[in-house]
Structure 1
Amino acid sequence: MAAIVASALFMQNLDSTVVATALPAMARSLGEPPVTMGVAITTYLVALTVFIPLSGWVADRFGAKQVFMAAIATFTVASAFCGLAGNLAEMVAARALQGLGGAMMVPVGRLLLLRRVRKEELLSVTTWLTMPGLLGPLLGPPVGGLLTDLISWRAVFWINIPVGVLGLLLVWRLIPALPPSLPPPPDLRGLTLVGLALAVLMAAFETLGRCLLPRGVPEALLAAGLALAAVAVWHCRRTPNPALDFSLLSIPSFRAPHTAGLVFRIGAGAVPFLVPLTLQLGFGASAAESGMVSFATALGAFAMKPMAQFALRRFGFRNVMIWNAVCAALTVAACAAFRPGWPMAAVFVVLLLGGLFRSLHFTTLNTLAYADVPQEKLSAATSLYSTAQQLPLALGVVVASASLQASMALAGREAAAMPDFTAAFLVGALFTLLAAPLSISLPKDAGEGIVSGRRR
């Protein structure tokens, strides 16, 4: 079951990495600057984040298996539309539809598994679930580069179609259905407030300092988004069955992956966006060459998964979250030193190490988050945690893009140069490093019982 559910993760992760590799070619084809084309990534992530809060209720009401299959179908059809897009507006609309499918696909698939495992099986199931999913980013950069150079950037979306069809057949044939329940009515007011707040905030972050909207409009959007977010949190804390159940943050092992994971994912989300642009615009590499080097990050992530249990058993969840954040930040900072004179082998090694540390951190966060959540709260927990997972990744792309724009503006450049990429990587490293002090409050015995054989 974990391997089948991971086919959805594979499709989603493959899509995100091939898009980043194909971004410069997409920009040339659609007549847009490469930095502006980051909206093709953030639109998907924003739509994903906006609709995730509804996923838990929809799965309970209509059955997790049925919703999972509908989500895979939606994602697959939207991928075909992305490949047919003729301008940026059509691409944005198709990516938003993809986000709707992804919002239901990944958290509902995770829910199918969490309802069938014991606490001591949690790390093993998480590893089984994520290792096949990591094949997406492992294959994404080289496949995306080769498809872009040999066929077209449009082919990077069309490869989702056979994967989606295969996933649908496997889910229909092999995964048993969970009976639907009768949950309380959805918190429509909360869902509306949360969705509006996220959408307005991301629109503000995407347009600040870019001269895409009239002067003062991005600042007004930012103020409106913050106000809507404050109202949404206030509402959810006072509603019996809220869109996002913030009472779960009273569980220490659930709260720490949220606070520390938020800033860590912002820094981590900047790297897949920056690396292909650095190699293609800064080094002059082709899309295929960029993809073959960029996939080192995913290779490192894939290699770390079998070692995660040993690291957590030896050092414990708290120590791993603190010191691994420091190591991950150092690898992001090392990317700031990239220059065209570097041998590609050295770039490959830095990206490989970065993938190792980020993979260990994600495994630690994703395992610990559900360790002490009661069964009756799992739907609410998957909705809240998935929202907290996706929003920072979108923010990471926005922060990286804004850092590039700010550095270009300060230097008076119209096109991104190596010093601009240096500044953006250093900003990403700072966000990654902030996860270390935020993990100190985690109890020393957090995660006891998850990893069998943990030393005392």
Structure 2
Amino acid sequence: MNATPTHQALQPEFRLLVLLVSIGFFMQGLDTTIVNTAIPAMARSLGEDPLQMHSVVVAYVLSVAACIPLSGWLADRFGVRNTYFAAIIIFTLASLGCGYAESLNELLVYRVIQGIGGALLLPIGRLAMLKVIPRTQFLAAMSLMSLAGLIGPLIGPTLGGWIVEVTTWHWIFLINIPMGLLGVLITFKAMPNVTEPTVPTFDYVGIILLVLAMVGLSLGIENFANPQHSIWWSIGLIIIGFLASLIYAYHSHTHKNALFRSKLFKNRIYAVGIIGNFFARLGGNALPFLLPLMLQIAFGFEPFITGLLMIPTVLGSLASKPIIRPIIQKFGYRKVLIINTLLVGACIASFALTSADTPIWLRAIHFFIFGVLNSLQFVSMNTLTLKDLPQQDASSGNSFLSMIMMVSMSIGVALAGTLVNVFTAYLGAENTTTAFHITLLVLGSINIITAAIFWQIPKNTPV
């Protein structure tokens, strides 16, 4: 009878590989959050309205979402080292382009390219570790790597705020250059170029339909309150997005090499988890963008102070990690997700009660509680979604979940920016604070309604 392999400490020969993957994870995590506190300063420099700058976040997140399905196929076809090397080069050069951008449109082009590189960094890094590091040391490797992923979002908002106060916003992108160069130097030494002997034909039709769906829905919502486009332009984009989604649903059912086969959704737990993930993340993912904007635009806070105020959210997320598993084991997925979804919605809505005069200590506690609840929500949803997938569907199911998470963030930020603009236009520029408050109430309400999705989880679902 075979003994179960024990978890071992990471051996020295694998440490450089883990450092390399950690660099990519850190860069991606940092770039998702560092922009949030810098948006008002970027808007002033580029001569744009800060309330119309959500496209800087959406462009990056959307291109990450669009390229996630490519990552596994590219790594199998061209090798993990070659693909990872290309990803770091693309990300670093795009960061340089962002740092020298002189207009919003130029910045958006480089943010899209940066997202393409960012989309490949984490999944291919994780894949390289999976293929190279022995299973007995994999847990130790993942634990070390996840630290880098936590540090990026922890320091991102504060670092972004500090940079725009002591220098210019361009440096929030230029700081990626030394990290990228270090990654380039380590790649050929630390990462073997593992390839697969047989690689299926890539589903080009599927990726085009998915990109059309994601871009149509996100940009349609984002441009809804943009004075440069008519409302019919936005409606047209949303219709294209919906049609592409429906055609892809048919394609996934009939095409044997489809990126994500429809059989994934025959698993009821997976289907509920994916739909719940999409809607429950709209508000939770929009707040790291919306709250720094409200603190600076509506309440008049300095960028650095705004960044510091975002730290309790990440600390709340860290503090929740040890308690998540015991809570799920005691109460079960169904109860935890229904109650916690209601709590997250109420917490998002409660930010509408804050003002410029809210005491800093109370604001910090509020952010900390949100971080705890949001982390509990995300981890519970993710583990529920993937837990019953058979081994042959695990890779495809995980990629689809990763893509949905990024699409939800993209649409959430676009929706939050659009709602603030709509309510500001209706109430007048002097009532910007009220516009932010109503937006928070709407986002909180979406979360509360989402609890109905988790109601569909069978009562006897095992932990």
In structure 2, do the counterparts of structure 1 residues 127 and 369 end up closer, same or farther at CA, with 3 Å as the change threshold?
A: farther
Amino acid at match of 1:440: W
In the other structure, the counterpart of 1:194 is 210
Displacement of 1:317 after TM fit? 3.1
Pair 1:329 & 2:358 matched: no
Pair 1:436 & 2:454 matched: no
Larger CA deviation: 158-167 vs 78-87: 158-167
CA contact (8 A) 1:263 1:435 kept: yes
In structure 2, do the counterparts of structure 1 residues 331 and 53 end up closer, same or farther at CA, with 3 Å as the change threshold?
A: same
| Selected match of 1:419 from 412, 434, 443 | 434
| Selected match of 2:82 from 60, 66, 79 | 66
Amino acid at match of 2:334: R
CA contact (8 A) 1:84 1:154 kept: yes
Q: Which runs of 5+ in 1 are unaligned?
A: 449-456
In structure 2, do the counterparts of structure 1 residues 430 and 196 end up closer, same or farther at CA, with 3 Å as the change threshold?
A: same
- CA separation in 2, counterparts of 1:6 and 1:317? 31
Amino acid at match of 2:449: L
In structure 2, do the counterparts of structure 1 residues 104 and 20 end up closer, same or farther at CA, with 3 Å as the change threshold?
A: same
SS of 1:442 mapped into structure 2: coil
Larger CA deviation: 25-34 vs 317-326: 317-326
In structure 2, do the counterparts of structure 1 residues 266 and 419 end up closer, same or farther at CA, with 3 Å as the change threshold?
A: same
Encode CA deviations 1:96-146: one digit per residue, 9 max, x unaligned. Answer: 001111222223334445668999999998766544312111101111111
Amino acid at match of 1:28: R
Amino acid at match of 2:426: L
Amino acid at match of 1:417: T
Equivalences for residues 105-144 of structure 1 within 5 A: 105-112=121-128, 129-144=145-160
Displacement of 1:66 after TM fit? 3.2
- CA separation in 1, counterparts of 2:180 and 2:371? 26
Larger CA deviation: 35-44 vs 311-320: 311-320
SS of 1:216 mapped into structure 2: helix
In structure 2, do the counterparts of structure 1 residues 445 and 134 end up closer, same or farther at CA, with 3 Å as the change threshold?
A: farther
Encode CA deviations 1:339-370: one digit per residue, 9 max, x unaligned. Answer: 01101221111111111111122222333433
TM-score, length-scaled by structure 1: 0.90
Displacement of 1:164 after TM fit? 2.9
| Selected match of 1:369 from 377, 385, 395 | 385
In structure 2, do the counterparts of structure 1 residues 364 and 195 end up closer, same or farther at CA, with 3 Å as the change threshold?
A: same
Encode CA deviations 1:279-298: one digit per residue, 9 max, x unaligned. Answer: 11121111011111122211
- CA separation in 2, counterparts of 1:401 and 1:197? 20
Equivalences for residues 243-258 of structure 1 within 5 A: 243-258=259-274
Identity of aligned residues (%): 32
- CA separation in 2, counterparts of 1:365 and 1:2? 27
CA contact (8 A) 2:77 2:195 kept: no
Encode CA deviations 1:362-382: one digit per residue, 9 max, x unaligned. Answer: 222333433333443344223
Larger CA deviation: 56-65 vs 257-266: 56-65
In the other structure, the counterpart of 1:48 is 64
CA contact (8 A) 1:269 1:396 kept: yes
Equivalences for residues 57-456 of structure 1 within 5 A: 57-112=73-128, 129-169=145-185, 172-175=188-191, 178-214=194-230, 216-411=232-427, 413-414=428-429, 417-444=432-459, 446=461, 448=463
- CA separation in 1, counterparts of 2:71 and 2:125? 10
Amino acid at match of 1:245: R
Displacement of 1:275 after TM fit? 0.7
- CA separation in 2, counterparts of 1:124 and 1:312? 24
SS of 2:54 mapped into structure 1: helix
- CA separation in 2, counterparts of 1:310 and 1:349? 23
SS of 1:266 mapped into structure 2: helix
Two-structure CA RMSD over aligned residues (Å): 2.7
In the other structure, the counterpart of 1:452 is none
Equivalences for residues 20-59 of structure 1 within 5 A: 20-59=36-75
- CA separation in 2, counterparts of 1:118 and 1:366? 25
CA contact (8 A) 1:328 1:357 kept: yes
Aligned length: 447
Displacement of 1:402 after TM fit? 1.4
In structure 2, do the counterparts of structure 1 residues 87 and 354 end up closer, same or farther at CA, with 3 Å as the change threshold?
A: same
Q: Which runs of 5+ in 2 are unaligned?
A: 1-16
- CA separation in 2, counterparts of 1:375 and 1:5? 24
- CA separation in 2, counterparts of 1:416 and 1:237? 49
